[in-house]
A and B are shown apart, each in its own frame.
Chain A
Amino acid sequence: MAEAKTSRNDGTASDIVKMSDLRFAWPGVRKFQISIDEFALATRSRTLLLGPSGSGKSTLLSLLCGIATPQSGRIELLGTEITCLGNAARDRFRAEHIGVIFQMFNLLPYGSPVDNVILPLSFAAERRKRAQACHNARTEAKRILCDLGIEGDLLNGAACELSVGQQQRVAAARALIGSPELIVADEPTSALDKVREGSFLDLLFAQVEAAGSTLIVVSHDQTLAPHFDQVLLLNEIVRPEPQP
């Protein structure tokens, strides 16, 4: 943490994400409510969002991706206020512009790595076009997977038969295909050892750089901080609401 640069971006024209006056509680879950007064992410930045377990990291990502909608407040992504979009439009927006890497990778176990990687393209026409700019979607998926070290027989086997590190790279390839503007990663290295963690982040950053995407990673692991050009502390952004 000591070497990391911590800063608050309160919003500029070049921000990819802007949140303001946000209030949110999961439907039917009264115990957990959060509010965010101001939050912004600069375009093409690599941000680490640090916070302990249960502090609302995943909730923040759900809001950011438009999977959860706040009770009040604004969330702007790429200049579009996603809180004003209907459900279907918000889903399409997410598919087109956001790639997600999960803590537990969350691959469809019955799909091959290639099937898993091209999955988001089923829901995003523009992203599919971008992915197919040079070759077809499967070839592009294989290219990204090869860049991340998944090749040969591994490409067509079942995803559930891959090692932890390999699954993590497939999850990253899925988020990267079609070069979405925003890559969101929820504890992406929590299942990896320190050696693999570093090499995975290097590969991820290289791909993010090549795609020209913005990266936000949430984690409780402070040792990741040196890899990022911006580190934010969740408790400085998210304010717990008093219990009703």
Chain B
Amino acid sequence: MTLIRLAIRSLGNRWLTALLTVLAIAVSVVLLLGVEKVRTGAKSSFANTISGTDLIIGARSGGVQLLLYSVFRIGNATNNMTWRSYQAISEHPEIAWTVPLSLGDNHHGFRVLGTQPGYFVRYKYRRNQTLKFNSGKPFSDLFDAVLGADVAAELGYKVGDPIIVAHGIGKIRTAEHDDKPFRVSGVLAKTGTPVDRTVHVGLEAIEAIHIDWRSGRRRQDLSVTADDVRKMKLKPKAVTAVMVGLKSRLSAFKVQRYVNTYRSEPLSAILPGATLYELWALIETAETALSIVSLMVVVTAILGMITMILATLNERRREIAILRSVGAGPRTVIGLLLLEAGILTFAGVITGVLTTYALLYSVRPVVDKVYGLYLEITPPSSFELLALGMIVIGGVIAGLFPALRAYKRSLTDGMTVRN
């Protein structure tokens, strides 16, 4: 029997303790890889959400907050930006295009975004991919709505279906704009970004549904029907944020400074990429804490493995004495135990990796639905491979301690073990 066969058979002889050890290591690997996958997945999900937009402009606030509410639909704007300021800034000679965004309403908890048809051309994600329609087309009528893939899938909508927008953004059902129903004109293809969970309507439509509302309530003294509002000339009063594309990226800081010092209104302009880095810096401490916890779990699992090998050493004294009597030297005895530690760790790592991917595959739709986080399933990164390699090496090195102890015992046991 070769050393490997011997080690495998010996482990098979103690399969329950070996299985528990493999599971302990696997769980720690799942935690380590899981944290890493969620961390990098969240980062790439965020980073892939917006592409090709040079600046985002909104009312004066923190950069991270502006990015979160305008792009990721997280949180709320502290204030709006007037339509006049929007128009003035749009005419800046360095600006190539602008897309206004207006947030504030919802449909069954999904954010409603008022924008212009240009949004479907200008909005880009994951390395400049443009939005694609699964069915239908961008809005052409005032009360047309374009649904993100998840909205349509979860609520079972298709092109032509009527939908009613509710006032506000809470999940609790509030007053509805039921006098002015929308019609689904198109359904977008899945993007893995917050767009999937957004109902897109025209900017004028946002104005139209609020025309007989004041301070978040329907006015008692005024009632405008959907047909009447179609005949009206609708002009937005304010927008929540503006996506900006520049003629040259070199002018980004110049335009940013222009917006940040805009006299008529306090505004902020952010560079999405730079603000994402600010966001990473904010959550770095939490990431570090998570990584430390994962590492501690790995160390605990390896300690558990040492304990298991040490605990079984006594019952294995006879096995070691047998091997020594037939010519196995201390090196073989040490090698056998190191191999055993290596097999256990390797099996734990492989089980952990497979479990992690199985879990990622099964929880991805839930995470996407609940947190709007699209976790890409990618092969282990070089860092992850390095970490897994270190666990295997750490496991083998940890096996050295019981191996040396077994060797020392084999010297004092000689050929006879009476245990």
Contact = CB atoms under 8 A, between A and B. Distances in A.
Interface of A: 26-29, 58-59, 61-62, 65, 67-68, 87-88, 90-92, 94-96, 100, 102-104, 106-111, 115, 118-120, 122-124, 174, 186
Nearest to A88: B329
B287 interface: no
A100 B326 contact: yes
Which 10 residue pairs across A and B have the least CB separation, nearest first? A95-B327, A123-B327, A91-B329, A62-B414, A120-B326, A110-B13, A58-B416, A100-B325, A110-B9, A106-B322
A110 B13 CA distance: 6
Contacts of B6: 108
Contacts of B10: 108, 110
Given A110-B10, A115-B1, A122-B2, A186 B415 contact: yes
Contacts, number: 90
B328 A87 contact: no
B231 to A, nearest CB: 89
A106 B329 contact: no
22 contacts: A26-B414, A58-B414, A62-B414, A62-B416, A67-B324, A67-B415, A88-B329, A91-B324, A95-B327, A100-B326, A100-B415, A104-B318, A106-B321, A106-B322, A108-B9, A108-B319, A108-B322, A110-B13, A111-B1, A111-B9, A122-B326, A123-B332
Nearest to B418: A104
B104 interface: no
A95 B326 contact: yes
Nearest to A69: B411
A68 B6 CA distance: 24
Interface of B: 1-2, 6, 9-10, 12-13, 318-319, 321-332, 411-412, 414-416
Interface-centre pick from A29, A90, A108, A123 (highest chain B CB count, 10 A): A108
A102 B6 CA distance: 20
Contact of A26 (B326, B331, B412): B412
Contacts of A115: 1, 9
Nearest to B411: A27
Interface-centre pick from B6, B319, B326 (highest chain A CB count, 10 A): B326
Contacts of A94: 325, 327
A4 B124 CA distance: 101
Contact of B13 (A26, A90, A92, A109): A109
B329 A67 contact: no
B416 A103 contact: yes
Contacts of B329: 87-88, 90-92, 123
B1 A118 contact: yes
Given A106-B321, A108-B319, A110-B9, A124 B414 contact: no
Given A26-B412, A110-B10, A102 B325 contact: yes
A29 B13 CA distance: 32
Given A106-B322, A108-B319, A119-B1, A65 B330 contact: no
Contact of A91 (B13, B318, B319, B328): B328
A29 B408 CA distance: 13
A106 B10 CA distance: 14
